[in-house]
Amino acid sequence: MEHATRVGTRVGNRLLAALPPADLAVLAPYLRKVPLPHDAVLVRSGDRIEHLYFPCSGAIAFIMELPNGQTAATAVIGNDGAVGLMSALGPARSPMTAVVRVAGTALQISPARFHAILLRRPAIAGAVQILTRALLTQFQHVAACNALHSVEARLARWLLHIHDRTDGGDVLPLTQETLSELLGVRRTTVTQVLSSLRASRAVKSSRRGQVEIDRLRLEAVACECYKLMSRRIDRIVSQDAVRMLHAAPAPNDCPPPDFPFARTDS
């Protein structure tokens, strides 16, 4: 069951937690903590964005779907990101599908409510800019990596990105179908790549629906994109970014207006 979150230090999402307390206090009454079940589709490509999600735990993959049915992942986010940010600029349809790959929780808010608050709180607008920069950075790196590096190196990179965003140890709940979707290759190719990673002991086992990794060996197999991308995203979502949010000009603290869509907010 959904329930309102309380303002406090245990917000879960890194950017929401970095907001000045006054800005977080404005958002908090409208945030709902919701579960993110494994394999849940939060939004499909072409659908209107009905909710914004700020993950607190778990991992979500952004999937690009082509007309011929082929898919490929363009980014993976956890508590460093958000789903549905385009709707912060106004009503929008999603350019891609967002699927929960590791179960967790998120803070959910309606786009209209978030947009109305964003217009009055510069620090929240700054958080959207930071999250957008981090996501675009990941898109650019993934595009270059897909063009230049082997399937083995790319799979190692995805496994590391997902491992970074989970707290369940070295066993990742990923099926071969999911890995095929992430990589944009056939399942037979995934089988071959997993066999190669097992031979190098970067993957300890790949039982049905699970992949057990050896992190150090996996880092040795992954291309340089993993560490480069991680450093750049961490730099964007960093203490420097936190300082920028707290340096945002304070709004005129007048009482918030009544929202015409309040009845739809459960």
pLDDT tens for each residue of 134-144: 888 889 889 99
* pLDDT for the residue 266: 36
Candidates 1.10.10.10, 3.40.50.620, 3.40.50.970, 3.40.228.10; CATH matching 150-222 = 1.10.10.10
Q: Is the dihedral of CA 15, 17, 22, 25 positive or negative?
A: positive
d(CA 59, CA 76): 7
d(CA 140, CA 148): 13
* pLDDT for the residue 194: 94
Listed as ranges, residues in the chain with pLDDT below 70 are: 1-10, 89, 168, 239-266
d(CA 16, CA 108): 12
Task: Tell me which residue of 29, 31, 60, 30 sits closest to 43, measured CA to CA.
Answer: 60
* pLDDT for the residue 244: 64
Residue 17, strand partner residues:
none
d(CA 109, CA 13): 13
Q: Domain-by-domain residue ranges, the chain? A: 1-148, 150-222
* pLDDT for the residue 246: 65
Number of C-alpha atoms within 13 angstroms, CB side, residue 126?
20
d(CA 131, CA 81): 6
d(CA 141, CA 143): 5
d(CA 211, CA 97): 23
Candidates 3.40.605.10, 3.90.120.10, 3.40.50.1110, 2.60.120.10; CATH matching 1-148 = 2.60.120.10
* pLDDT for the residue 155: 95
* pLDDT for the residue 250: 60
DSSP 8-state class, residue 250:
P
* pLDDT for the residue 150: 93
Do 80 and 237 form a contact (C-beta atoms < 8 A)?
yes
Count how many residues are written for the chain.
Answer: 266
pLDDT tens string 149-206: 999 999 999 999 999 988 768 999 999 999 998 898 999 999 999 999 999 999 998 8
